[in-house]
Amino acid sequence: MGPTASGKTDLAIALSKALPCDIISVDSALVYKGMDIGTAKPSAKELAEAPHRLISFLDPVQPYSAAEFRKDALREMADIASKGRIPLLVGGTMMYFKALRDGLATLPEANPEIRHKLTEEAREQGWSVLHDRLKTVDPVAARRIKPTDTQRLQRALEVYEATGRSISSWHTEQKVSPLPYRVINLAIAPEDRTVLHQRIALRFQKMIDQSFEQEVRALYQRGDLNPSLPSIRAVGYRQMWAKLSGEFSHEEMIEKGIVATRQLAKRQLTWLRSWPGAHWLDSLSTDILLDALQVIQQGLR
């Protein structure tokens, strides 16, 4: 686990060569096809060396929830373990890690028709109107979900419209199942946060140099995607989308993209600091693979 630009992928690939590990991505943006540059998706060479599961399997128009991730990750973990190998979960989407660790209430299946209807209503009326509706049907969820958290807002209304019951009542009545595995938690980040900020700025500029604008333009020109979708809300993509729509200049897009990435890293670090049993590794260590292997060896005793 770690913030963006901390070196998770490099360490994961090194671990997969040192141990019988198969990698499972824990990243809410890497699941999407055609979103490679802005997500810093592992290269073809890296994937040939160390295949990653749960990447590039969804179209960007499709939402993907923590519950769906948990189900998919448990399936992949069971498959890996059945072959006598070790599941190595790698990523920075802390909500996914939490869902996997703690479990989630069993909720009704997604309803594409209701979801599409809500998306269209939001496009015409705005998400604030839908949030006001949630206040009426589920005030508990409305206090917890911000109007800007459109994915969770949509899901709460979808559950209510599909079942006639609030999502809060579903959560209250359901029992959750904890993760049925023994886990060693590795958290990677540079001890010097200024280094992380420098890495973020360098990575964003590298994305620009690698034709990130053309990647987002291809998504923009499809016509069926919009900034309210989880895929387009991903850091970097929403700033480039705003540039393509004329909201930002090129310079503003870069500045706001870097700032948003730093804010994401800060949120990820906040999650990690409260994560029980996390073993911290310094990204700047001269032999971080050895450091990680020592932690793993101690954890297996």
Per residue in 255-290, pLDDT (tens digit) is 999 999 999 999 999 999 999 999 999 999 999 999
Confidence band, pLDDT 50/70/90 cuts, at residue 133: very high
CATH topology of domain 112-173: Histone, subunit A (1.10.20)
- The two structure tokens encoding residue 114: 């209701």
Name the residue type at position 231: S
Q: Above pLDDT 70, what percent of the chain?
A: 99
Separation between Cα atoms, residue 160 and residue 169, nearest integer Å: 10
Q: Is the pLDDT of residue 176 over 70?
A: no
Q: Give the contacts of 19 (CB within 8 A, at least 6 positions apart).
A: 86, 88, 293, 296
Q: What residue ranges do the domains of the chain occupy?
A: 8-102+184-300, 112-173
pLDDT at res. 180? 85
pLDDT at res. 16? 97
Whole-prediction pTM: 0.82
Q: Give the contacts of 262 (CB within 8 A, at least 6 positions apart).
A: 197, 200
Confidence band, pLDDT 50/70/90 cuts, at residue 102: confident
Q: Which CATH class is domain 8-102+184-300?
A: alpha beta
Separation between Cα atoms, residue 189 and residue 278, nearest integer Å: 12
pLDDT at res. 174? 65
| Helix residue spans in 230-287 (DSSP H) | 237-244, 250-273
Confidence band, pLDDT 50/70/90 cuts, at residue 181: very high
C-beta separation of 283 from 190 below 8 A: yes
Q: What is the mean pLDDT of the chain?
A: 94
Q: Is the pLDDT of residue 175 over 70?
A: no
| Helix residue spans in 19-149 (DSSP H) | 44-49, 66-82, 94-102, 112-125, 127-137, 139-144
